[in-house]
A and B are shown apart, each in its own frame.
Chain A
Amino acid sequence: MNAAIEGAPRRPVHYWYDDGLAEIGVGLLFLVLAALFAVEGRAPAGSLPPWFSALGLPVVVVSGMIVLGLSMRAVKERLTYPRTGYVSYPRTGPARKWLAGVIGGGVSFLLVLFLAARPDWMIALPALQGAAVAVVFLLLSFRSGVLRLALQGVLALATGLIVSFVGVGTSVSTALVFGSVGLASLISGLLVLAHYLRTTAPPAGAA
Protein backbone atom coordinates (compact mmCIF):
# COMPACT_ATOMS: atom_id res chain seq x y z
CA MET A 1 0.00 0.00 0.00
CA ASN A 2 2.74 2.41 1.05
CA ALA A 3 4.84 1.55 -2.02
CA ALA A 4 1.81 2.15 -4.24
CA ILE A 5 1.22 5.58 -2.69
CA GLU A 6 4.87 6.51 -3.14
CA GLY A 7 5.08 5.11 -6.68
CA ALA A 8 1.84 6.45 -8.20
CA PRO A 9 2.90 10.13 -8.41
CA ARG A 10 5.84 9.03 -10.61
CA ARG A 11 3.53 7.29 -13.08
CA PRO A 12 2.57 10.47 -15.05
CA VAL A 13 6.31 11.17 -15.56
CA HIS A 14 6.72 7.61 -16.85
CA TYR A 15 3.70 8.21 -19.11
CA TRP A 16 5.65 10.90 -21.03
CA TYR A 17 7.95 8.11 -22.30
CA ASP A 18 5.22 5.48 -22.93
CA ASP A 19 4.87 6.33 -26.64
CA GLY A 20 8.61 6.51 -27.42
CA LEU A 21 8.27 9.96 -29.04
CA ALA A 22 10.59 11.68 -26.57
CA GLU A 23 13.37 9.19 -27.32
CA ILE A 24 12.82 9.50 -31.08
CA GLY A 25 13.10 13.30 -30.78
CA VAL A 26 16.22 13.21 -28.59
CA GLY A 27 17.74 10.53 -30.85
CA LEU A 28 17.23 12.70 -33.95
CA LEU A 29 18.69 15.76 -32.20
CA PHE A 30 21.76 13.77 -31.10
CA LEU A 31 22.22 12.42 -34.64
CA VAL A 32 22.09 15.97 -36.07
CA LEU A 33 24.70 17.02 -33.49
CA ALA A 34 26.84 14.00 -34.40
CA ALA A 35 26.60 14.95 -38.10
CA LEU A 36 27.66 18.50 -37.23
CA PHE A 37 30.73 17.27 -35.33
CA ALA A 38 31.54 14.74 -38.07
CA VAL A 39 31.45 17.47 -40.75
CA GLU A 40 33.68 19.64 -38.58
CA GLY A 41 36.09 16.79 -37.90
CA ARG A 42 36.37 15.53 -41.48
CA ALA A 43 36.49 18.89 -43.28
CA PRO A 44 39.96 20.01 -44.44
CA ALA A 45 41.42 22.89 -42.40
CA GLY A 46 40.10 26.26 -43.57
CA SER A 47 37.31 24.80 -45.72
CA LEU A 48 34.54 25.72 -43.26
CA PRO A 49 33.52 29.31 -42.55
CA PRO A 50 34.88 30.61 -39.22
CA TRP A 51 31.37 30.97 -37.72
CA PHE A 52 30.64 27.25 -38.21
CA SER A 53 32.42 26.06 -35.04
CA ALA A 54 31.37 28.99 -32.89
CA LEU A 55 27.70 29.23 -33.90
CA GLY A 56 26.86 25.81 -35.34
CA LEU A 57 26.42 23.99 -32.02
CA PRO A 58 24.34 26.64 -30.15
CA VAL A 59 22.14 27.25 -33.20
CA VAL A 60 21.48 23.53 -33.72
CA VAL A 61 20.83 22.89 -30.00
CA VAL A 62 18.50 25.87 -29.47
CA SER A 63 16.58 25.55 -32.75
CA GLY A 64 16.50 21.75 -32.38
CA MET A 65 14.94 21.99 -28.91
CA ILE A 66 12.33 24.49 -30.12
CA VAL A 67 11.42 22.35 -33.15
CA LEU A 68 11.43 19.24 -30.93
CA GLY A 69 9.06 20.81 -28.40
CA LEU A 70 6.61 22.01 -31.06
CA SER A 71 6.62 18.82 -33.11
CA MET A 72 6.37 16.61 -30.00
CA ARG A 73 3.27 18.52 -28.85
CA ALA A 74 1.70 18.25 -32.31
CA VAL A 75 2.38 14.51 -32.67
CA LYS A 76 1.23 13.68 -29.12
CA GLU A 77 -1.93 15.68 -29.81
CA ARG A 78 -2.77 13.43 -32.77
CA LEU A 79 -1.33 10.12 -31.60
CA THR A 80 -1.08 9.80 -27.82
CA TYR A 81 -3.79 11.96 -26.23
CA PRO A 82 -6.68 10.40 -28.19
CA ARG A 83 -5.49 6.89 -27.21
CA THR A 84 -4.40 7.04 -23.58
CA GLY A 85 -5.26 10.55 -22.45
CA TYR A 86 -3.87 14.00 -21.88
CA VAL A 87 -1.57 15.08 -19.05
CA SER A 88 -0.44 18.65 -18.43
CA TYR A 89 2.92 18.77 -16.67
CA PRO A 90 4.08 21.55 -14.34
CA ARG A 91 6.07 24.21 -16.17
CA THR A 92 9.72 24.53 -15.24
CA GLY A 93 10.06 27.85 -13.42
CA PRO A 94 12.56 30.49 -14.65
CA ALA A 95 14.67 29.99 -11.51
CA ARG A 96 15.19 26.30 -12.29
CA LYS A 97 15.93 27.04 -15.96
CA TRP A 98 18.53 29.63 -14.93
CA LEU A 99 20.04 27.25 -12.39
CA ALA A 100 20.35 24.49 -15.02
CA GLY A 101 21.88 26.99 -17.48
CA VAL A 102 24.37 28.31 -14.91
CA ILE A 103 25.40 24.79 -13.80
CA GLY A 104 25.76 23.57 -17.43
CA GLY A 105 27.59 26.71 -18.56
CA GLY A 106 29.81 26.71 -15.46
CA VAL A 107 30.84 23.06 -15.86
CA SER A 108 31.55 23.60 -19.60
CA PHE A 109 33.58 26.73 -18.87
CA LEU A 110 35.65 24.98 -16.20
CA LEU A 111 36.21 22.06 -18.58
CA VAL A 112 37.42 24.39 -21.36
CA LEU A 113 39.78 26.15 -18.91
CA PHE A 114 41.10 22.82 -17.66
CA LEU A 115 41.70 21.47 -21.18
CA ALA A 116 43.38 24.72 -22.24
CA ALA A 117 45.79 24.38 -19.31
CA ARG A 118 46.29 20.62 -19.74
CA PRO A 119 45.98 19.80 -23.49
CA ASP A 120 47.29 16.26 -22.87
CA TRP A 121 43.90 15.55 -21.21
CA MET A 122 42.08 16.17 -24.52
CA ILE A 123 42.14 12.41 -25.08
CA ALA A 124 39.71 12.05 -22.14
CA LEU A 125 37.18 14.48 -23.65
CA PRO A 126 34.90 11.78 -25.17
CA ALA A 127 34.80 9.97 -21.83
CA LEU A 128 33.80 13.23 -20.09
CA GLN A 129 31.13 13.91 -22.73
CA GLY A 130 29.84 10.35 -22.39
CA ALA A 131 29.76 10.76 -18.60
CA ALA A 132 27.84 14.05 -18.88
CA VAL A 133 25.24 12.47 -21.21
CA ALA A 134 25.08 9.42 -18.90
CA VAL A 135 24.36 11.60 -15.85
CA VAL A 136 21.45 13.30 -17.68
CA PHE A 137 19.97 9.96 -18.84
CA LEU A 138 20.41 8.37 -15.38
CA LEU A 139 18.67 11.33 -13.71
CA LEU A 140 15.79 11.07 -16.20
CA SER A 141 15.58 7.33 -15.57
CA PHE A 142 15.55 7.79 -11.80
CA ARG A 143 12.87 10.49 -12.02
CA SER A 144 10.60 8.60 -14.39
CA GLY A 145 11.32 4.98 -13.47
CA VAL A 146 12.04 4.18 -17.16
CA LEU A 147 14.88 1.63 -17.08
CA ARG A 148 15.79 1.86 -20.77
CA LEU A 149 16.90 5.49 -20.24
CA ALA A 150 19.45 4.25 -17.71
CA LEU A 151 20.68 1.70 -20.26
CA GLN A 152 21.15 4.49 -22.82
CA GLY A 153 23.12 6.42 -20.18
CA VAL A 154 25.37 3.41 -19.60
CA LEU A 155 25.84 3.11 -23.37
CA ALA A 156 26.89 6.79 -23.56
CA LEU A 157 29.46 6.28 -20.80
CA ALA A 158 30.80 3.07 -22.36
CA THR A 159 31.07 4.65 -25.83
CA GLY A 160 32.88 7.67 -24.38
CA LEU A 161 35.37 5.46 -22.54
CA ILE A 162 35.99 3.24 -25.60
CA VAL A 163 36.44 6.20 -27.96
CA SER A 164 38.82 7.84 -25.46
CA PHE A 165 40.77 4.61 -25.20
CA VAL A 166 40.98 4.14 -29.00
CA GLY A 167 41.94 7.81 -29.48
CA VAL A 168 40.57 9.43 -32.64
CA GLY A 169 40.28 13.14 -33.47
CA THR A 170 38.31 15.35 -31.06
CA SER A 171 35.37 16.20 -33.35
CA VAL A 172 35.16 12.66 -34.72
CA SER A 173 35.16 11.20 -31.20
CA THR A 174 32.41 13.60 -30.14
CA ALA A 175 30.46 12.60 -33.25
CA LEU A 176 30.87 8.93 -32.29
CA VAL A 177 29.61 9.50 -28.72
CA PHE A 178 26.57 11.55 -29.78
CA GLY A 179 25.94 9.34 -32.83
CA SER A 180 25.85 6.08 -30.90
CA VAL A 181 23.59 7.47 -28.17
CA GLY A 182 21.37 9.13 -30.79
CA LEU A 183 21.04 5.92 -32.77
CA ALA A 184 20.27 3.90 -29.62
CA SER A 185 17.62 6.43 -28.55
CA LEU A 186 16.07 6.48 -32.01
CA ILE A 187 15.88 2.68 -32.30
CA SER A 188 14.56 2.33 -28.73
CA GLY A 189 11.96 5.05 -29.37
CA LEU A 190 10.78 3.45 -32.62
CA LEU A 191 10.41 0.03 -30.96
CA VAL A 192 8.48 1.56 -28.06
CA LEU A 193 6.27 3.52 -30.46
CA ALA A 194 5.51 0.39 -32.51
CA HIS A 195 4.55 -1.47 -29.30
CA TYR A 196 2.46 1.49 -28.09
CA LEU A 197 0.53 1.69 -31.37
CA ARG A 198 -0.01 -2.09 -31.36
CA THR A 199 -1.33 -2.21 -27.81
CA THR A 200 -3.47 0.93 -27.66
CA ALA A 201 -6.37 2.31 -29.65
CA PRO A 202 -8.62 5.37 -29.33
CA PRO A 203 -11.72 4.52 -27.28
CA ALA A 204 -14.75 3.46 -29.30
CA GLY A 205 -16.83 6.47 -30.29
CA ALA A 206 -13.91 8.92 -30.13
CA ALA A 207 -13.45 11.15 -33.19
Chain B
Amino acid sequence: MAGDDLRAITEVDRVIHEPARLLIVALLSEVRSADFLFLQSETRLTKGNLSSHLSRLEQAGYLQIDKGFRGKVPQTVCSLTSEGRAAFRLYRAQMRRAVGRSAR
Protein backbone atom coordinates (compact mmCIF):
# COMPACT_ATOMS: atom_id res chain seq x y z
CA MET B 1 0.00 0.00 0.00
CA ALA B 2 2.80 2.38 0.98
CA GLY B 3 4.64 1.28 -2.14
CA ASP B 4 1.58 2.06 -4.28
CA ASP B 5 1.38 5.58 -2.85
CA LEU B 6 5.07 6.19 -3.47
CA ARG B 7 4.91 4.68 -6.96
CA ALA B 8 2.02 7.05 -7.70
CA ILE B 9 4.58 9.87 -7.79
CA THR B 10 5.85 8.48 -11.10
CA GLU B 11 2.35 8.98 -12.52
CA VAL B 12 2.04 12.69 -11.69
CA ASP B 13 1.19 15.04 -14.53
CA ARG B 14 4.55 15.97 -16.07
CA VAL B 15 3.16 19.10 -17.70
CA ILE B 16 2.41 20.51 -14.22
CA HIS B 17 5.35 18.83 -12.44
CA GLU B 18 7.98 21.00 -14.17
CA PRO B 19 8.91 23.60 -11.47
CA ALA B 20 8.31 26.79 -13.48
CA ARG B 21 4.96 25.54 -14.80
CA LEU B 22 4.02 24.31 -11.32
CA LEU B 23 4.59 27.82 -9.98
CA ILE B 24 2.55 29.38 -12.79
CA VAL B 25 -0.36 26.97 -12.23
CA ALA B 26 -0.20 27.43 -8.43
CA LEU B 27 -0.28 31.23 -8.81
CA LEU B 28 -3.28 31.06 -11.13
CA SER B 29 -5.16 28.45 -9.10
CA GLU B 30 -6.83 30.90 -6.69
CA VAL B 31 -7.54 33.80 -9.09
CA ARG B 32 -9.79 34.30 -12.08
CA SER B 33 -6.90 35.53 -14.22
CA ALA B 34 -3.56 37.32 -14.11
CA ASP B 35 -1.54 39.06 -16.77
CA PHE B 36 1.88 38.25 -18.20
CA LEU B 37 3.57 41.03 -16.21
CA PHE B 38 2.31 39.65 -12.88
CA LEU B 39 3.41 36.12 -13.75
CA GLN B 40 6.80 37.39 -14.88
CA SER B 41 7.38 39.46 -11.74
CA GLU B 42 6.36 36.53 -9.51
CA THR B 43 8.24 33.76 -11.31
CA ARG B 44 11.29 35.88 -12.28
CA LEU B 45 11.43 34.02 -15.60
CA THR B 46 12.58 35.75 -18.78
CA LYS B 47 9.87 36.76 -21.26
CA GLY B 48 10.85 34.01 -23.69
CA ASN B 49 11.01 31.34 -21.01
CA LEU B 50 7.66 32.34 -19.53
CA SER B 51 6.08 32.44 -22.99
CA SER B 52 7.22 28.92 -23.80
CA HIS B 53 5.87 27.56 -20.49
CA LEU B 54 2.54 29.32 -21.03
CA SER B 55 2.33 27.87 -24.54
CA ARG B 56 3.02 24.37 -23.18
CA LEU B 57 0.20 24.75 -20.63
CA GLU B 58 -2.10 26.11 -23.33
CA GLN B 59 -1.33 23.15 -25.59
CA ALA B 60 -2.21 20.79 -22.74
CA GLY B 61 -5.59 22.53 -22.45
CA TYR B 62 -4.79 23.78 -18.93
CA LEU B 63 -4.50 27.47 -19.74
CA GLN B 64 -6.47 30.03 -21.68
CA ILE B 65 -4.52 32.99 -23.05
CA ASP B 66 -6.33 36.16 -24.13
CA LYS B 67 -4.44 38.91 -25.88
CA GLY B 68 -5.95 42.37 -25.81
CA PHE B 69 -5.38 45.93 -24.68
CA ARG B 70 -5.66 47.61 -21.31
CA GLY B 71 -6.18 51.19 -22.37
CA LYS B 72 -3.51 51.63 -25.04
CA VAL B 73 -1.14 49.04 -23.58
CA PRO B 74 -1.08 45.50 -25.00
CA GLN B 75 -1.96 42.93 -22.37
CA THR B 76 -1.79 39.14 -22.23
CA VAL B 77 -4.19 37.69 -19.68
CA CYS B 78 -3.92 34.07 -18.54
CA SER B 79 -6.47 31.96 -16.71
CA LEU B 80 -6.63 28.28 -15.81
CA THR B 81 -9.27 26.23 -17.60
CA SER B 82 -11.48 23.86 -15.60
CA GLU B 83 -9.21 21.02 -16.84
CA GLY B 84 -6.19 22.93 -15.54
CA ARG B 85 -7.76 23.44 -12.13
CA ALA B 86 -8.75 19.76 -11.91
CA ALA B 87 -5.25 18.67 -12.96
CA PHE B 88 -3.67 20.88 -10.28
CA ARG B 89 -6.03 19.54 -7.60
CA LEU B 90 -5.11 15.96 -8.57
CA TYR B 91 -1.40 16.82 -8.64
CA ARG B 92 -1.58 18.33 -5.14
CA ALA B 93 -3.41 15.29 -3.80
CA GLN B 94 -0.84 12.90 -5.33
CA MET B 95 2.08 14.91 -3.97
CA ARG B 96 0.53 15.17 -0.50
CA ARG B 97 0.09 11.41 -0.37
CA ALA B 98 3.61 10.73 -1.61
CA VAL B 99 5.28 13.31 0.65
CA GLY B 100 3.17 12.17 3.60
CA ARG B 101 4.26 8.54 3.08
CA SER B 102 7.93 9.33 2.63
CA ALA B 103 7.96 11.52 5.77
CA ARG B 104 6.81 8.59 7.95
A residues in contact (CB < 8 Å) with B: 1-2, 4-6, 8-13, 15, 81-82, 84-91, 203, 206-207
Contacts and interface: CB of A to CB of B under 8 A. Distances in A.
Contact of A85 (B34, B71, B96): B34
Top 9 closest pairs, chain A to chain B, by CB: A85-B38, A8-B26, A85-B37, A9-B30, A88-B32, A86-B35, A88-B33, A87-B34, A9-B29
Of A12, A15, A90, most B-chain CB atoms within 10 Å:
A12
A88 B34 CA distance: 6
Interface residues of B, number: 28
Nearest to A203: B37
B70 to A, nearest CB: 7
Nearest to B75: A86
Contacts of A203: 37
B95 A90 contact: no
A12 B71 CA distance: 23
A22 B80 CA distance: 26
Interface string B11-48: 00000000000110011011111111111111000000
B99 A89 contact: no
A2 B102 CA distance: 12
A88 B31 contact: yes
Nearest to B92: A5
A5 B90 CA distance: 13
Interface of B: 22-23, 26-27, 29-42, 70-73, 75, 77, 92, 95-96, 99
B25 to A, nearest CB: 9
B73 A87 contact: no
A15 B38 contact: yes
A207 B71 CA distance: 10
A5 B29 CA distance: 11
Nearest to B99: A2
6 contacts: A6-B92, A13-B30, A88-B33, A88-B77, A89-B31, A207-B72
A90 B27 contact: no
A90 B31 contact: yes
B38 A90 contact: no
Contacts of A6: 92
A85 B35 contact: yes
Contact of B73 (A10, A12, A15, A207): A207
A15 B75 CA distance: 19
Contacts of B71: 207
A8 B32 contact: no
B40 to A, nearest CB: 7
